[in-house]
Amino acid sequence: MSATTGERDDTQPHRTKGPLVYRQSIWTRVTHWVWVICLFFLLFSGLQIFNAHPTLYIGQESGFEYDNSVLSMHAERRPEGGYAGYTTVLGNRIDTSGVFGYSGTEANPEFRGFPSWLTIPSYRDLATGRVVHFFFAWILVGVLFVWAVASFFNGHLRRDIVPKGADLKALPADAAEHARFRFRHHKGYNALQKLAYAFIFFIVFPAIILTGLSMSPGMNTAWPWLIEVFGGRQTARTIHFTAMLVLVLFFIVHIVMVVLAGPINELRSMITGWYRVDPGKEDRS
């Protein structure tokens, strides 16, 4: 994935431009764009699957005589007429009419967790949603494996992903600079980038893949212990959904940082591999 530093100095002719350095290998660039495609289809097909039962629980089973839900989306009829959509999170009930629980128009109402424009396919079709989801899930797993092997041998993991002691020491200063929207243009990744990418690659991706596998009946037969690791089927489903939300948040922050720091430089880096750094910063790793 691209770094959160960019080419802001290029818009200020009174400053000297730094050199272009080769920052992203072909392996990083290709896998980055394949991930973008996979995660797009995984997100919206996953919401189609979620809509089949728009409630999340903790434990092995959904409660009937007890309530172990942590999130639910549903529609209710209003006393004065019509319907309203409600989302309940940890017992806190929120009116989300028009988006979650109930959407559409009075003439064509939709009683579903997520609205049609947020699901693949847009109409109710759990079977197609599952086919799309599983297809891109296995592509994602394969590409992650290729990226991990390539990054291990070309040093990308050691150099740009795994945080070192120096990165942790530099974290407060990097956080302060980002808070002031001051972005340094180095060849290497800064402390915040390394921590964010390490969290995604070593925690979020494994969690979302393993919880997805643990909900598969076939995997339950082959690895019956896997579902117990996550505290039951319903807890695994909740963790899977939460990991998806973390990825969405990461994506939003990632795009904002790219735009603020200089999208031209960032996109050039992730398309051609070449990145413009500040003068004298081309050797930082």
Contact 140, 35 (CB under 8 A): yes
- For residue 281, give the amino acid letter: K
Give whole-number Cα distances, 264 to 2, 261, 274, in Å. 12, 9, 11
Q: What is the pLDDT of residue 213?
A: 93
Cα(175)–Cα(7) distance, integer angstroms: 19
**Residue with more model confidence, 71 or 61:** 71
Is the pLDDT at 10 greater than 50, yes or no? no
Q: Which domains does the chain have, with CATH numbers?
A: 8-52+124-276 (1.20.950.20), 55-113 (no CATH)
pTM equals: 0.85
Residues 12-49: tens digit of each pLDDT: 444 567 788 888 899 999 999 999 999 999 999 999 99
Looking at the chain, the whole-number percentage of residues with pLDDT higher than 70 is 92
Buried-state track 116-125, b at ≥16 Cβ within 10 A, e below 16: eebbbeeeee
Cα(285)–Cα(277) distance, integer angstroms: 12
Q: Which of 23-32, 72-81, 207-216 has the lowest mean pLDDT?
A: 72-81
Q: What is the mean pLDDT of the chain?
A: 88
Residue 278: pLDDT band by 50, 70, 90 thresholds? confident
**CA neighbor of 3 nearest in space, from 202, 244, 243, 192:** 192
Residue 167: pLDDT band by 50, 70, 90 thresholds? confident
Long-range contacts at 205-208 (CB < 8 A, ≥ 24 apart): 205/144, 207/239, 207/240, 207/243, 208/240, 208/243, 208/244, 208/247
Is the pLDDT at 11 greater than 80, yes or no? no
Residues 180-199: tens digit of each pLDDT: 888 777 778 888 889 999 99
